[in-house]
Each structure stands twice: as structure tokens, then as C-alpha cells.
């Protein structure tokens, strides 16, 4: 046995031990949003932030760039052997909800259905996208992320002997908090360049859209809500608004939606129990204002 | 919770693979445990049989030893003594009174034979007819001393006064 083999064996053992110990240590949280990337500090250290400039690149490339910056932050902060929980803005997500005819679909059947539906919905082959899904009764909820960026994230995290503890869309994390208070509602999550719109019923999500917020939040929302409510013949007129980032005037938005016949509640406002994703978004937004 | 659990950190394929592996490990562990228990049971059963045969051999030896300890004469005396003791325990007075209370005057008792071991009594009698015999049996059965009465045999012997000869078995209550 030569020295090289011994060294490589030692490194493998160390990496495995690091990964095991990562489960015992508190996780590190990260946020990948359109306006910047944030990595929560290790052991009360201040968070590290990298600001992202608006770009006209393709969505996939933008995501890969943001992830690259997150990995750089991870390397610079010299984090090893930790769990990393990553929240990614819905700006890069392609969601999909689908009512199912049959009760239970097999894994491969779901994959086939999703591939066809994603292609139809986004008019793209979706070969460079990865998706994950969950079946909630007769409703299928899925979300796709650019594959290159996701692979980069996985490799970058494991390259630091860390474990990717969580990689979830920001709306999934934030709406978890809203779902506790209101079971039957529309949920709108407002970010700098996008609005996530979710129709939540008691047991599943029936609609999940990401719409660009280019013509003002209130206008975008009221148009989209009117369209979706009419399309679904849905008489629910309750909406829960959450602002994560951006310069939208939520008071005005609330007023306009109320004038259009909607009962509006501001989610997470004044509550102490907020999701990690929301907290990270707040920190990033506060840093952006400085 | 209505929010779907969508997490890209979970590799669905490897998750399914791990699930299958754990299931296989569980099944393997269970089957090993079952076979180990079966093997233990077999061993214990073998030990039990072995001990049983040792005990039987020891008991047989003890019986032999007991039986060889007595001479034929002594054994005969012991049996006679046992029989005598059994006869002593029979409540003869009450027994005869009960039989006499049930008997029709026309019925003639020829012999009464006691079997102390199985607590039964054989009565040989002559009766004028079956009506008298069945009446006697019925009255015997009503006596508190007796558990059950059975007619063992009945034969017509001649055309005299009591042409019906019968044998009756009476079972005594074990308390008497």
C-alpha cells in the first residue's frame, strides 16, 4: 500500500466523520434571492451577503451564477462539516399543480405526467430542469429548478464536507407559517421581481403560479386573481399577503384589493414565530436598504 | 399541514433505494431472529425429551426396586390387607338399609358383592317379573347413597315363583 492510498483513505474517513458530525451541529442557513445571496453566520458571526445586480441573462444562467456566489461565500467563511439549509427565491422556480384522475400514481408514471405537463405549461422541453413533487390526495404539486445550478449547489456543499440539509423554494417555507392560521385562502408572496400566487385549500395546493411583478403588485395580483378565480369557478375572496422584498407599497396594495372585493390579511406582520426563509429575506432586505 | 413537502435535498431515487435496503435488512433481521428462535426451540425440545426419557428410566428403576423389595408372600399379604381396609371403609349398614328399603317382598336377593376399588356393588337377584325388577331398580336409583343403577343381565330361568334372574350394578357416591 503506497502513501497516496493511505492519504486518500484518511481523507475519505475524515470526510465521512465530518458528514456524520454535521448532523449533530446546528445548521447554517442560506438564501438565494434575485437581489442577493445571504449566508447566515457561523456561531453568532454576522451574515455574509453578496449583492446580485439585475441581469438580462437566461434564468438558468442567473441561478447558476447566484449559486456559484453562495458556494464562494461558503468557502470564504471556511465552513466545514455542517448542514446547510438553502432557501431559493421563487423567481427561479417553475411551479406546477395538477389534479389527478387516479388515486395513486407510480413514481415513473408521475415523472412522465410531469414532464408532459411542464413542457405544455412552459412551452419548453425542460431537459435542463430538475423537479421534485409531492402527491396530496388527488392533487400533485411540483416545482422545477434549473438543473445546472442545482447540481452546482449539491457539489459545492459536499465539496465543503457539508450536507445539503434542505433546498426548498422560499414560498414553500413562508407559506408553511400562513397555512397554520388560514386553511382556505389565496396566498400571495411578494418579492422584488416576482409574485408567487398560491390557492390553498384544506388539504392541498390547487394553484401555484409565479408571475412577474412588472406592472405593480396590486394590478398584477388583481388581474391574475380575477383570471384564476374565474377559471376555477372559485368563490374564495380571502387573500393573505406576505412581502419578502422589493419596494411595493403593501398598504396601497391592500387598499386596492379591498376595493376590488377581497378580504386581505397581512401574513407574518407582527408575529414572532416566522419561518427561517422569511427571517433571511428580512435581513437581506435590510442590508439592501443600508 | 397542507403545504407540500418539496425539498431538492432529498434525492428521491436514493431515498427509494435506501428505503428498499432498510426493508431488506429488516426482513433479513426478522428471518434471522425467527430461525434463531426456532433453533432454540428445537434445542429446548430435545433437552426436554432427553430429560423425560431420563425421568422415565429413573421411575422404571424405582418401580423395579420397590417391587423387588417385597417377596410374593409379602405382596399377597399386602393385597389382602389393602382389600380388608377397603372393605372396612364401606358403609355396610347404610347400604343394606337402602337396598332393603327399595326391595319388593317378592324379590329375593341371592348375593351382594362389593368392589371397593371402583366403589360399586353387584347384586344378583330373582324377581317374579320385569315390572318388579324395574320398580326395584327405580327405587334404588332414588336412594341418596347411590350414584347410578344399571341392569347388567336378565334371564328367564324356569316357570317357578321367581322366574326372572337378574344382575344389577349399583355405583356408590365416592363420599360414602
Give A238-267 pLDDT, tens digit per residue.
998 888 888 778 888 888 889 888 898 887
Q: How far is CA B157 from CA B122, B126, B162, in A?
A: 19, 9, 9
What pLDDT shows up at residue A94?
94
Question: Are A167 and B8 within 8 A, CB to CB?
Answer: yes
Neighbours of A136 (CB within 10 A): 19
Q: How many CB atoms lie within 10 A of CB A21?
A: 13
Helix (H) or strand (E) holding B14: helix B12-69
| Interface test mutation site (partner A, options B1, B5, B8, B12, max chain A beta carbons within 10 A) | B8
Residue A239 to residues A11, A213, A256: CA-CA distances in angstroms?
53, 17, 13
What do you get for the CA distance between the two ends of chain A, in Å?
Answer: 58
Do you know the residue count of chain B?
176
Highest mean pLDDT among A33-42, A74-83, A209-218, B43-52: B43-52
Whether ipTM tops 0.85, in short, is no
pLDDT, tens digit, for every residue of A82-96? Answer: 899 999 999 999 999
pLDDT digits (tens, 9 = 90+) for A151-199: 999 999 988 888 898 999 999 998 887 656 677 889 999 988 899 999 9
Residue whose cell numbers read 429575506? A281
User: What does the pLDDT look like over B68-100, one tens digit per residue?
Assistant: 667 788 888 888 887 777 767 777 888 888 888
Share of chain B above pLDDT 90, in %: 28
DSSP SS3 for B110: strand
Asked if the Cβ–Cβ distance from A150 to B1 is below 8 Å, we say no
CB contact under 8 Å between B6 and A183, yes or no, is no
The gap between the terminal CA atoms of chain B, to the nearest Å, is: 79
| pLDDT (0 to 100) of residue A169 | 94
Instruction: Mark yes or no for CB contact A203/B12 under 8 Å.
Output: no
Closest partner residue to B4 (CB to CB) among A141, A166, A167 is A141
For residue range A9-63, what is the model confidence (pLDDT) as tens digits?
888 888 777 777 777 888 899 999 988 999 987 767 788 889 888 888 888 999 9
What is the grid cell recorded at B152? 347388567
Residue-averaged pLDDT of chain A: 86
A132, A153, A183: best mutation site toward chain B, by most B Cβ within 10 Å?
A132
Nearest CA in chain A to B3: A176
| Contacting residues for A272 by C-beta, under 8 A, at least 6 apart | none
Is residue A8 over pLDDT 70?
A: yes
Q: What is the mean pLDDT of residues A135-151?
A: 91
pLDDT beyond 60 at A1: no
Per DSSP, what are the bridge partners of residue A264? A239
Distance from CA of A133 to the nearest CA of B (A): 6
Q: What is the pLDDT of residue A272?
A: 54
Q: What is the mean pLDDT of residues B17-30?
A: 91
- CB–CB of A132 and B12 under 8 A? yes
Does residue A6 surpass a pLDDT of 90? no
Share of chain A above pLDDT 70, in %: 94
Q: What contacts A268, CB < 8 A, 6 or more positions away?
A: A174, A177, A178, A242, A274, A278
Among all residues of chain A, which has the CA nearest to that of B4? Answer: A134
Average pLDDT, chain B: 85
| Residue B59 to residue B56: CA distance in whole angstroms | 5
Per DSSP, helices labelled H in chain A are 3-22, 59-76, 107-122, 147-159, 170-181, 217-232, 250-259, 276-289
CB A83 within 8 A of CB A25: yes
**Full strand arrangement of the beta sheet holding B164-172:** B108-115, B120-127, B164-172, B146-156
The model scores a pTM over 0.90: no
Give the C-alpha separation, A211 to A278, whole Å: 19
Give the start-to-end residue ranges of the domains of chain A. 3-91+146-169
Short-list A52, A49, A47, A50, CA closest to A35: A52
Which of A68-72, A104-108, B45-49, B165-169 has the lowest average pLDDT? A104-108
In the structure grid, which three cell numbers stand for residue A148, read together?
445546472
Is the pLDDT assigned to residue B23 strictly greater than 90?
A: yes
Minimal Cβ distance to B2: which of A150, A164, A202: A202
Per CB-CB distance under 8 Å, the chain B contacts of A150 are 8
Higher pLDDT, A4 or B26: B26
Q: What is the pLDDT of residues A97-139, one digit of tens each?
A: 998 876 677 888 888 888 899 999 998 888 899 999 988 888 8
CB B121 within 8 A of CB B115: yes
Parallel, antiparallel, or unpaired: how do β-strands A94-99 and A139-146 relate?
Answer: antiparallel
Q: Are B160 and B129 in contact (CB under 8 A)?
A: no
Q: Which of B9, B14, B16 to mutate to test the interface with A (most CBs of A within 10 A)?
A: B9
Query: Are residues B155 and B165 in contact, defined by beta-carbon separation less than 8 angstroms?
Result: yes
**Other C-beta atoms lying within 10 Å of the C-beta of residue B74:** 10
Confidence of residue B159 (pLDDT cuts 50, 70, 90): low
What one-character DSSP code corresponds to residue A47?
P
Q: What is the CATH number of domain A3-91+146-169?
A: 3.30.420
pLDDT bin (cut points 50, 70, 90) of residue A66 is: very high
pLDDT at B118: 79
Residue-level pLDDT at A38? 92
Amino acid at each position: 500500500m503506497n502513501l497516496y492510498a493511505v492519504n486518500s483513505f484518511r481523507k475519505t474517513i475524515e470526510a465521512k466523520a465530518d458528514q456524520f458530525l454535521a448532523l449533530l451541529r446546528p445548521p447554517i442557513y442560506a438564501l438565494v434571492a434575485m437581489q442577493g445571496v445571504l449566508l447566515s453566520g457561523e456561531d453568532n458571526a454576522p451574515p455574509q451577503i453578496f449583492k446580485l445586480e439585475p441581469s438580462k441573462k437566461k434564468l438558468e444562467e442567473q441561478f447558476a451564477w447566484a449559486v456559484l456566489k453562495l458556494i464562494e461565500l461558503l468557502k470564504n467563511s471556511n465552513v466545514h462539516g455542517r448542514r446547510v439549509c438553502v432557501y431559493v427565491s421563487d423567481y427561479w422556480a417553475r411551479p406546477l399543480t395538477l389534479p389527478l384522475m387516479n388515486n395513486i400514481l407510480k413514481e415513473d408514471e408521475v415523472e412522465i405526467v410531469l414532464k408532459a405537463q411542464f413542457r405544455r405549461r412552459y412551452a419548453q422541453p425542460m431537459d435542463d430542469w430538475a423537479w421534485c413533487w409531492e402527491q396530496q390526495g388527488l392533487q400533485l404539486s411540483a416545482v422545477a429548478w434549473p438543473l445546472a445550478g442545482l447540481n452546482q449547489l449539491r457539489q459545492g456543499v459536499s465539496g465543503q464536507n457539508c450536507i445539503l440539509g434542505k433546498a426548498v423554494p422560499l414560498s414553500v417555507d413562508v407559506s408553511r407559517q400562513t397555512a397554520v392560521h388560514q386553511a382556505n385562502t389565496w396566498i400571495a408572496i411578494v418579492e422584488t421581481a416576482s409574485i408567487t400566487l398560491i390557492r390553498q385549500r384544506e388539504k392541498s395546493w390547487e394553484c401555484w403560479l409565479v408571475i412577474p411583478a412588472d406592472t405593480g403588485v396590486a394590478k398584477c395580483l388583481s388581474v391574475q386573481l380575477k383570471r384564476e378565480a374565474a377559471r376555477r369557478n372559485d368563490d374564495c375572496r380571502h387573500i393573505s399577503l406576505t412581502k419578502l422584498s422589493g419596494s411595493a407599497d403593501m398598504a396601497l396594495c391592500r387598499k386596492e384589493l379591498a376595493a376590488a372585493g377581497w378580504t386581505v390579511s397581512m401574513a407574518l406582520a407582527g408575529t414572532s414565530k416566522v419561518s427561517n426563509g422569511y427571517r433571511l429575506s428580512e435581513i437581506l432586505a435590510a442590508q439592501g436598504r443600508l | 399541514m397542507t403545504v407540500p413537502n418539496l425539498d431538492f435535498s432529498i434525492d428521491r431515487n436514493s431515498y427509494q433505494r435506501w428505503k428498499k435496503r432498510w426493508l431488506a435488512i429488516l426482513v433479513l433481521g426478522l428471518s434471522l431472529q425467527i430461525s434463531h428462535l426456532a433453533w432454540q426451540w428445537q434445542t429446548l425440545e430435545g433437552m426436554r425429551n432427553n430429560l423425560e426419557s431420563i425421568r422415565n428410566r429413573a421411575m422404571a428403576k424405582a418401580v423395579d426396586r420397590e417391587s423387588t423389595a417385597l417377596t410374593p408372600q409379602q405382596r399377597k399379604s399386602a393385597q389382602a390387607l389393602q382389600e380388608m381396609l377397603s372393605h372396612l371403609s364401606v358403609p355396610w349398614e347404610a347400604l343394606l338399609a337402602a337396598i332393603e328399603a327399595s326391595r319388593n317382598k317378592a324379590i329375593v336377593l341371592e348375593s351382594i358383592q362389593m368392589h371397593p376399588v371402583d366403589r360399586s356393588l353387584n347384586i344378583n337377584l330373582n324377581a317374579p317379573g320385569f315390572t318388579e325388577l324395574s320398580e326395584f331398580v327405580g327405587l334404588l336409583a332414588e336412594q341418596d347413597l347411590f350414584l347410578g343403577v344399571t341392569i347388567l343381565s336378565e334371564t328367564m330361568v324356569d316357570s317357578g315363583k321367581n322366574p326372572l334372574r337378574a344382575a344389577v350394578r349399583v355405583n356408590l357416591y365416592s363420599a360414602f
